[in-house]
Amino acid sequence: MKRKHLLGLADVSATEITQILDTAEAMREVLSRPIKKTPALRGKSVCTLFFEPSTRTRASFEMAAKTLSADTSSLTVATSSVSKGETLKDTLLTMAAMGAGCFVIRHPSSGACELAASFSQKFGYDFHIVNAGDGCHEHPTQGLLDLLTIRQHKGEIAGLKVTMIGDLLHSRVARSNVHGLLKMGADLTLCGPQTLLPPEFGLLDLKMTHDCDEAIEGADVVMTLRLQNERMNGVFLPSVREFAALYGINARRLKRAKSDAILMHPGPINRGVEISDDVADGGQSVILNQVTNGVAVRMAVLYGLLGGEEN
Amino acid sequence: MSEPKKLMEAADIARALKRVAHEIIERNRGLDNVVLVGIRTRGVPLSARIASHFEAIENQTVPLGALDIALHRDDFHLRAAPPQKTAIPCDISGKVVILVDDVLFTGRTIRAALDALNDFGRPASVQLAVLVDRGHRELPIRADFVGKNAPTSHEEKVSVRLQEIDGEDEVLILTADERG
């Protein structure tokens, strides 16, 4: 990989995405071995810097780094000096001074990772930045793991009918997926209530609708998004119950998709809101495959960023 | 610019592999405990060809695996080779693993392969079969079965081309200029 940072999928080409997915396939094989450890990143130090809560993304990055033999350290806001007011810049430089060569950052502000990347090489330390979710901007490794999951189940991504449903306004997962899926040639439909479906998406080559049944009709892939209550500072919905009734995926609604359609959710799930129990745990759900693929994709990303350039 | 020197023709390759297959059988007094593992990329079709010689000679099928060594290389900081899938078909503990590669040069690939194999079990022994041994070892590694010994200068490149990957069978020696 000829890049230093992974800040979003907006500037990653289809060719590069395919390379990362191919590498991730090889990494998935490593994860299926009896001894899940390879020495590729021996001596490299990866620091996860999470300014927001996370279960799967952080655990996934740490497992990815450890499987490749990198050393990991993790900082969380509540237990670090960030709670004393230390800035992102000083936190980064402090950890870099201890030898961290790669930062995996999650931050509530959109653009935080770009800012972090701008500090590399400026203060005597050289480091890589991987965006693990910045505000409502991007979550590129989630986008990549979703692409890997779709490719694994459907083969070619180009031409597939993919429907993304829910809180598109606040979703960084949606933004990374929109970039990734369009680059790979998917036929994309976005669906959500008017308040959560920003009209700017209409500038892209995709369809938008407020009618969930219509959006799901004939889909190969149904991707639901989490209702991001923590980012809703205003009144976006009359009630969660109404959202669940109009946009929640249940068995009846899923029948409108193709019979072999897969159902995805980036997690964490609000069970009974975006997705009902029976379909979340049902045969079409690939939610846990997404989680496994997450480790493989993050291994591929770390391997690509931290390795030397190909000659 | 002169034509690249041809070290082996298709027939030479076929004869060498057949002899190597015979030698492996002889050394191990049969094939009962043998597992063939080709090193990606060109070791894989070579190992498959040796396996088909085994079938012809002994009427016996041996487990056939493919090993990718990208994650075990020692030059990751210079060049991150894209990893491919490894497929080891059985538990290799207690088995005689025959590693197969196209060219033995510095020995670094084999060092990485030995390391990678470790993750799949503890073989009774590991033997190495190569189509060409071109010398210039940088590690204390030698081949047990060699198709052809070819003295080369360090600057030359030995290019093994195989039907399955390159569309034809031949081994060329390229000079520094010809490598581009």
**Do A224 and A275 form a contact (C-beta atoms < 8 A)?**
yes
Q: B80–A311: do the CB atoms touch at under 8 Å? A: no
- Judged by average pLDDT, the poorest of A113-127, A227-241, B18-32, B161-175 is A227-241
Residue of A nearest to B81 (CA): A310
Residue B176 in any domain: the answer is: no
Residue of B nearest to A1 (CA): B80
Q: B119–A38: do the CB atoms touch at under 8 Å? A: yes
Out of A26, A39, A41, whose CB is closest to B85?
Answer: A26
Token reading at B51: 């396996």
Cβ-based contacts of B78 with chain A (< 8 Å): 308, 311
Q: B109 vs chain A: nearest CA distance in angstroms?
A: 14
Q: Is the peptide bond before A268 cis (omega within 30 degrees of 0)?
A: yes
Averaged confidence pLDDT in chain B: 94
Instruction: For chain B, give the number of residues.
Output: 180
Cβ-based contacts of A310 with chain B (< 8 Å): 79-82
| Nearest Cα residue to B168 out of B155, B159, B176 | B159
- Tell me how far apart the terminal alpha carbons of chain A are, to the nearest angstrom: 11
Q: How much is the pLDDT for B77?
A: 80
Looking only at the bridges linking them, the beta strands covering A187-191 and B125-133 are unpaired
Q: A215 vs chain B: nearest CA distance in angstroms?
A: 37
Token reading at B127: 């033997």
Handedness of CA B90, B92, B95, B101 (dihedral sign): positive
Task: Report the alpha-carbon distance of residue A205 to residue A62 in Å, rounded.
Answer: 36
Q: What is the DSSP letter of A126?
A: -
**Do A35 and B91 form a contact (C-beta atoms < 8 A)?**
no
Residue B163 in any domain: the answer is: no
**Do B31 and B25 form a contact (C-beta atoms < 8 A)?**
yes
Rounded to 5°, the CA angle A17-A20-A24 comes to 135
Q: B77–A304: do the CB atoms touch at under 8 Å? A: no
Q: A174 vs chain B: nearest CA distance in angstroms?
A: 28
| Nearest Cα residue to A157 out of A18, A300, A9, A16 | A18
Of all helices (H) and strands (E), which one includes residue A213?
helix A212-216
Model pLDDT for residues A139-156, shown as the tens digit of each residue: 999 999 999 999 999 999
Kindly state the average pLDDT of the residues A275-287.
95
**Do A41 and A68 form a contact (C-beta atoms < 8 A)?**
yes
Q: Is the ipTM of this complex over 0.90?
A: no
Q: B86–A303: do the CB atoms touch at under 8 Å? A: no
Residue A280 has pLDDT above 80, yes or no: yes
Task: Report the alpha-carbon distance of residue B78 to residue A310 in Å, rounded.
Answer: 8
Q: A308–B75: do the CB atoms touch at under 8 Å? A: yes
Cβ-based contacts of A25 with chain B (< 8 Å): 85
Q: A39–B115: do the CB atoms touch at under 8 Å? A: yes
Residue A311 has pLDDT above 60, yes or no: no
Kindly state the average pLDDT of the residues B9-24.
98
> Higher-confidence residue: A235 or B105?
B105
Neighbours of A187 (CB within 10 A): 17
Mind listing the domains of chain A with CATH numbers? Answer: 14-138+292-306 (3.40.50.1370), 140-286 (3.40.50.1370)
Q: How much is the pLDDT for B180?
A: 57
Out of A25, A39, A310, whose CB is closest to B85?
Answer: A25
Residue A220 has pLDDT above 90, yes or no: yes
Q: Which of B67, B72, B85 to mutate to test the interface with A (most CBs of A within 10 A)?
A: B85
Rounded to 5°, the CA angle A77-A79-A83 comes to 55
Cβ-based contacts of B68 with chain A (< 8 Å): 26
Model pLDDT for residues B147-165, shown as the tens digit of each residue: 999 999 999 999 999 999 9
Residue B129 has pLDDT above 80, yes or no: yes
**Do A288 and A152 form a contact (C-beta atoms < 8 A)?**
no
Cβ-based contacts of B113 with chain A (< 8 Å): none
Residue B76 has pLDDT above 90, yes or no: no
Number of domains chain B contains: 1
Q: A34–B119: do the CB atoms touch at under 8 Å? A: yes
CATH number of the domain at B24, please: 3.40.50.2020
Cβ-based contacts of B116 with chain A (< 8 Å): 38
Residue B177 in any domain: the answer is: no
Q: How much is the pLDDT for B1?
A: 55
Domain span at residue B125?
Answer: 11-152
Model pLDDT for residues B85-121, shown as the tens digit of each residue: 999 999 999 999 999 999 999 999 999 999 999 889 9
Enumerate chain A positions whose Cβ falls within 8 A of a Cβ in B.
1, 19, 22-23, 25-27, 29-30, 33-35, 37-41, 68, 303-304, 306-311
Q: A308–B82: do the CB atoms touch at under 8 Å? A: no
Residue B91 in any domain: the answer is: yes
Banded model confidence at residue A310, pLDDT cuts 50, 70, 90: low
Q: A38–B80: do the CB atoms touch at under 8 Å? A: no
Averaged confidence pLDDT in chain A: 93
- pTM confidence score: 0.92
Task: Report the alpha-carbon distance of residue B172 to residue B158 in Å, rounded.
Answer: 6
